[in-house]
């Protein structure tokens, strides 16, 4: 299991320091949640913040756009230092066009499914993206409880990806901790996003190691 700590749970007054700290703790990627206050009922960070912490880590930046028009803003986040840009199939931008735009910017594209969106919504794009992110909470706020009933969706994606011989990664995000990681691993998740499970742990490095052991 690869682990992508969510910066949504870090101390925002010390983002550069937190980026360095969690990178040294052994994370595989850093997950950055971008919310516009429209697509989801919260507002977080924009490209300038990501650009400001980019020099603080050599880890891949996994930028999750919870915004209504990802096509419009993809270039700004690519220039800010994103390595992956994932966006919601439920957003207003044309999905194929957005995937192509992200790819053209030298960034790996991915799509995201809200809890009520079925796995099948991702099937037409599995050979066009590098990652599918399954939300295991309703997007918008950190610290929510893990929705284990999303695991059949993960299994459906895993089966389809394997059936077609693709290398598309499956990521899960929301309420993932030492208590819930086993269910993710069993269902076929490749990358676990963990916010409070890492940042609020007494020893973040140990928390990351435990999650990676699955």
Catalytic residues: 33, 173
Q: DSSP for 49-111, please give it.
A: HHHHHGGG--SPEEEEEESS-HHHHHHHHHHHT-SEEEEETTSSS-HHHHHHHHHHTT-EEEE
Give CA–CA dist 36/155, Å, rounded.
30
Give CA–CA dist 77/36, Å, rounded.
14
Number of Cβ within 10 Å of residue 205's Cβ equals 15
Q: Which two three-digit tokens encode residue 87?
A: 């966006």
């Amino acid at each position: 299991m690869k682990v992508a700590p969510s910066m949504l749970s870090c101390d925002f007054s010390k983002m550069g320091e937190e980026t360095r700290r969690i990178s040294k703790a052994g994370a595989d990627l850093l997950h950055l949640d971008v919310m516009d206050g429209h697509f989801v009922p919260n507002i977080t960070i924009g490209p300038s913040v990501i650009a400001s912490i980019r020099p603080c880590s050599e880890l891949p930046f996994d930028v999750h756009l919870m915004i209504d028009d990802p096509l419009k803003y993809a270039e700004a986040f690519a220039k800010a230092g994103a390595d992956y840009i994932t966006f919601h199939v439920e957003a207003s931008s044309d999905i194929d066009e957005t995937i192509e735009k992200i790819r053209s910017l030298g960034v790996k594209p991915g799509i995201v499914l809200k809890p009520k969106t079925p796995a099948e919504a991702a099937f037409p794009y599995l050979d066009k993206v590098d990652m599918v992110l399954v939300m295991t909470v309703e997007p918008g706020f950190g610290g929510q409880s893990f929705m284990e009933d999303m695991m059949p969706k993960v299994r459906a994606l895993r089966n389809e990806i394997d059936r077609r011989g693709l290398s598309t990664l499956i990521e899960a995000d929301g309420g993932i901790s030492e208590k819930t990681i086993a269910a993710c691993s069993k269902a076929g998740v490749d990358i676990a996003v963990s916010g409070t499970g890492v940042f609020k742990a007494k020893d973040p490095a140990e928390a990351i190691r435990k999650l990676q052991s699955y």
